[in-house]
Chains A and B, each alone.
Chain A
Amino acid sequence: MGEIQEYKCPCCGGGIAFDSNVQKMKCPYCDTEFEMETLAGYDSELKNDRADDMKWESSAGKEWQDGETDGLRTYVCKSCGGEIVCDENAAALSCPYCGNPVVLMGQFKGALKPDYVIPFKLDKKAAKAALKRHYEGKRLLPKVFKEENHIDEVKGVYVPFWLFDAGADANIRYKATKVRAWSDSKYDYTETSFFAVTRGGNIAFEKVPVDGSTKMPDDFMESIEPFDFSEAVDFKTAYLAGYLADKYDVDAGQSVERANVRIRQSTEDAFGATVKGYTTVVREAGSIQLHNGKIKYALFPVWLLSTTWKGKNYLFAMNGQTGKMVGDLPLDKTAYAKWLFGLTGIISAAVFAASYLLWLL
């Protein structure tokens, strides 16, 4: 009599009391047959499952040197609450987000000093030209909106970003199937083979950015990504001259969640792509361990353009480094209806004519 061990059936999850004297086992619940090694191997895979570990050590930002912030002033927008930083020479200002005037708060203080800054590469003219191009090729954009192209404000803003650096160890288990079909003179057969597929390894991420300002919508900033970090330089207050800077109001700890989501997704996709040759692949379990997770604080250049139309504020953002322009535009409902019904008429007529021609043949 061999040793009795209980295993979990890979097919239905039921318990199989395994007798090592018998070389082949049948699950009492679903009648599926297994090799002995299969059950033992599958069991050890199950024991490998661990929880995610995505911890970061924050060393983001530095302390300011004495006197370094002397030339910086903080302004606050009474309308939207936006807090911006600029140098003392800046002229009368309005809020880059909502266009309302801002008031001087006083001498800049507090907050951390950024580790890096990517300087502006494109100027105001380039931003305006990009906006014009942004309007092109959009048939459902109201004509009036295009013609009354008055840009209320064009502001170059350094937006605070938390940058996440980490290596990720992943161990992911999939249940995959291969389907084979054949037939003889009387029957059609389909054979589904089930596999336990495991992929483990590591992957490294560099400078995954998360927007550190609540005034700046996250999806907006993610839309103008990526920034080319190779052009980043160590931060100096001199870079702020002529531009505005936003003060972070989401700290690194709060931004971690967003970075984790993106890193986890990319890691799973990268490892999932190595599972090939199967008909279906379903992720069953997996864990991601981060190591050497480091956070840095950087300012990235963004041109903000805002325009008001029919009492609504439309905000556009351009990557100040690559020139990528984003911003949702209003829909011309009349034009939309015209296109929808016009096209319906034309396509329906064509389909109907084609069906008649087919009938004639």
Chain B
Amino acid sequence: MKKRIFMVYFALVLLFFPVSPVFAAEDAPRLVDGADLLTDSEETALRDKLDEISERQQVDLVIVTTDSLEGKSPMEFADDFYDYNGYGFGDSYDGVLFLISMEERDWHISTTGFGITAITDAGREYISEKFLGDLSDGEYGAAFTAFAQLCDAFITQAREGEPYDVGNLPKEPFPLLMNLAIALIAGFLLSFIITSVMRGKLKSVHSQPMADSYIKRDSMHLTKQSDMFLYRHVNRSRKPEHDESSYSGGSVTHTSSSGRSHGGGGGKF
């Protein structure tokens, strides 16, 4: 009897909630603050934001903080955390996981499925530049919010066409004050030079340090001309290491312990 009621209830649930291919998103929260870096209110706000973006984009955005990598590399930890907690939308488990480990102050972004397409290596580089400052300053809430918003924008861009990638990164906002200051300084310097020339025209009295006009024509004769080599010095300096990162864009992927393919990368903060 009880079992039947449960079945009916389950059927009703199925009826009212459109079947989504994977329930994974509901299995684990999208914000796991294992290192307790956020306040409760920050946590709630961020979780709501991640849920909203993930549902809307059908790409899981997950943020994980931890005090220990349990002996794994940040990449392994992030990939495994994503794979074994059932994150990801659709057959290709679309999603992006952002890991912060306080053990050695590592950050790592692991991308899966459509996440690999949307957040390319160049895109990840761009996003990390935006949040690393906050991260280093301990402004975790701000860093995570920036990450979520940027991922949202990157996913939208990838859905609508060309993903942000090498040569196609989002435009920096116009540096208004900076350019205004430079323009003013340049304008003043140029005007100063021009008006100095105009001032210079008023002055026509100059002493002449030379007597070139009074050299007797063809009177100069060189009678002694020697160019003697004395010694030489050779300086050797090591060439600057050339950055071989002239890659053509896209994401480099690897296979994690679960056998799935992930993109991503990270660093220290």
Q: Is the CB of B230 within 8 A of A42?
A: yes
Task: Give, as a whole number of angstroms, the nearest-CB distance from B177 to chain A.
Answer: 11
| Residue from B202, B203, B206 having most chain A Cβ neighbours under 10 A | B202
Interface size, A (range): 35 or more
A327 CB within 8 Å of chain B: yes
CA distance A134 to B210 in the complex (A): 25
For B, the interface residue count at a CB cutoff of 8 angstroms equals 54
Closest to A270 in B: B220
Closest-by-CB residue of B relative to A263 is B211
Q: B8 on the interface (CB 8 Å rule)?
A: no
**A28 part of interface (Cβ distance < 8 Å):** no
> Closest chain A residue to B193 by CB distance?
A343
Interfacial chain A residues near B237, Cβ < 8 Å: 187-188, 190
Q: Is chain A's interface secondary structure helix, strand, loop, or mixed overall?
A: mixed
Interface segment, one of A79-87, A199-207, A236-244: A199-207
Q: How far is the CA of A232 from the CA of B14 in the complex (A)?
A: 119
A167 to B221, CA, bound (A): 11
The answer to whether B202 and A226 have CB atoms under 8 Å apart is no
Given contacts A223-B204, A327-B204, A336-B195, contact A270 B228 (CB under 8 A): no
Distance, CA A359 to CA B216, complexed state (A): 60
CB contacts under 8 Å to B, within A327-355, are 327-331, 336, 339-352, 355
Contact across chains for A347 and B186 when beta carbons are under 8 A apart: yes
A348 touches B186 (CB 8 A): yes
For B213, the chain A residues whose CB sits under 8 A away are 225-226
- B residues near A186, Cβ cutoff 8 Å: 238-239
B224 contacts A189, C-beta separation under 8 Å = no
Which one, B180, B211, B221, B228, contacts A38 given CB within 8 A? Answer: B228
Q: Per-residue 0/1 for B190-221: is the Cβ within 8 Å of any A Cβ (1 yes, 0 no)?
A: 11101100110111111111111111100111
Q: A185 — which chain B residues lie within 8 A by C-beta? A: 239
A262 & B210 in contact (Cβ 8 Å cutoff): yes
- Please list the residues of chain A having a beta carbon within 8 angstroms of any beta carbon in chain B: 10-11, 32-34, 38, 41-42, 45, 134, 137-141, 167, 171, 176, 183, 185-209, 217-220, 222-223, 225-226, 259, 261-263, 265-266, 269-271, 274, 325-331, 336, 339-352, 355-356, 359
Q: Which residues of B come within 8 Å of A, CB atoms?
A: 171, 174, 179-180, 182-184, 186-188, 190-192, 194-195, 198-199, 201-216, 219-239
> 25 A-B pairs, CB-CB below 8 angstroms?
A10-B231, A32-B231, A134-B204, A138-B198, A140-B198, A140-B201, A140-B202, A187-B239, A191-B232, A194-B229, A196-B227, A201-B224, A202-B221, A203-B215, A203-B221, A262-B208, A262-B210, A262-B211, A270-B220, A274-B225, A331-B199, A346-B187, A347-B186, A347-B187, A348-B188
